[in-house]
Structure 1
């Protein structure tokens, strides 16, 4: 069940609101729908949809959260994991732990993301450095780093689109 104030519409992917909802309800519903889209076995074929799905999950978090989508060769989702929880302005990322999870799920590819609760979407030098480290570590075991996305309430920044992955 998604939410007690919401029912599925007749057309797939549509919903009817059964009573008034507030902003908190709306964000909760968006988060629940986003998590359903990250069901095991779902193909991640549209990078913008993946970004928006992750944005719905991470945008309201008050601390930095570093997550990974572990994918097979056809970019079907094997697992979604919240790997590291940080502070308001930083999350410590350990490449060894990312690699361990990627191997545990027998991943062929990984899509990484983390939020910037400050609302400033530009990557920090630490973001660029850890992306480069993770790319190298994953390449050693033939796992592709597809992207590292930085998420705020209003936007997503793809480091792959900037040539960093």
Structure 2
């Protein structure tokens, strides 16, 4: 075979259990991307690198068909401690329990949080319930000296920031 007639498959490759290489499945590519972004997110300056946070959240939540409410735990210097999916709901809502969020903050010694949830509808606009929940959580967390830095809504590729909208 001549070099001119040889063509490379441009897909990403993964090694199977037998040691052979094969083309990666789409979900394997997404999982690898999530691991890379999560590594960049952990210990990073979340507020000085909002693009890394947004990229991570778009991949993690942007294509889900059900609502998920998560928190990004931050230390006193606003470095990421951990991303935790707290509650899973239906296509249009999820139940969020402030007590459970406070417990998780205390267990991780969080100084601040970024609240996150998705809208499977693709519409990033916050509902009145989203606004009330944010205020409830902000008030509950203030009692244990945990600051809510932002609440982000992920709707496909769009991400809305409560802080940027003046809703926090």
> Normalised by the shorter chain, which TM-score bucket?
0.7 to 0.9
Q: Does 1:121 align with 2:132?
A: no
Specify the structure having the higher radius of gyration (Cα). 2
The match for 2:5 is: none
Gaps of 5+ in 2: 1-11, 15-20
Shift of 1:47: 2.3
Shift of 1:164: 2.0
- Between the aligned partners of 1:83 and 1:52, the Cα distance in structure 2 is 20
Gaps of 5+ in 1: 7-17
2:155 to 137, 152, 155: 152
| Aligned alpha-carbon RMSD (Å) | 2.2
**What is the TM-score normalised by the length of structure 1?**
0.81
Shift of 1:84: 0.2
Matches within 5 A, 1:1-165: 5=13, 24-39=27-42, 41-44=43-46, 45-165=48-168
- Between the aligned partners of 1:81 and 1:59, the Cα distance in structure 2 is 16
Residues 67, 93 of structure 2: 8 Å contact kept: yes
Secondary structure of 1:30's counterpart equals helix
The match for 2:7 is: none
- Between the aligned partners of 1:5 and 1:62, the Cα distance in structure 2 is 28
Secondary structure of 1:54's counterpart equals helix
Shift of 1:22: 6.6
